[in-house]
Amino acid sequence: MTLEEAQQVVDDWIKTKGVRYFNELTNMAMLTEEVGELARIIARTYGEQSFKESDKNRDLGDEMADVLWVLICLANQTGVDLTDALKKNLDKKNSRDATRHLENDKLK
C-alpha cells in the first residue's frame, strides 16, 4: 500500500465508520498517547524495564500502526500529502545531511 492509498483508506474509514475526524488538537493528543504506548513496548523489549502483566501481549507492529493511523488522520485533515512531504523531507536530508553522519566520529 502506498502512502497515498493509506491516506485514502483512512479517509474512507473515517467517513463511513468513524462518523468524522476528531479535531486536530484531539488527534495530536492521541498521537502523543500512541507514541507513548509504542515507547513503553520499546523500553520493555529493548531497554532495561521489565514488562508489566498488562504489557505482555502488546504487539510492536500494531503499536506502530496506531501511530501511523493517527498521523495519517492529522495529514488528511490538515491537507498534507504524505507522499509529497516525505519526498521533500528526503531531498532535504540528502542535501543537508549528505555527509553529516559519515563525518561524525561518534558513529565510527
Quick: pLDDT tens for 29-80.
Answer: 999 999 999 999 999 999 998 888 887 788 999 999 999 999 999 999 999 9
Q: Hey, what domains does the chain have and what are their CATH numbers?
A: 3-80 (1.10.287.1080)
State the pLDDT confidence band at 97, using cuts at 50, 70 and 90.
confident
Q: Are 70 and 31 in contact (CB under 8 A)?
A: yes
Dmax over CA atoms of the chain, in Å, equals 52
pTM: 0.89
DSSP state of 59: -
Looking at this protein, which amino acid is placed at residue 63?
Answer: E
Residues with Cβ within 8 Å of 20's Cβ and at least 6 positions away in sequence, in order, are: 14
State the pLDDT confidence band at 99, using cuts at 50, 70 and 90.
confident
DSSP state of 105: G
State the pLDDT confidence band at 82, using cuts at 50, 70 and 90.
very high
Average pLDDT, the chain: 94
Establish how many alpha carbons lie within 13 A of residue 41's alpha carbon, considering only the half-sphere containing its beta carbon. 15
Instruction: Name residue, grid cell 465508520.
Output: 17
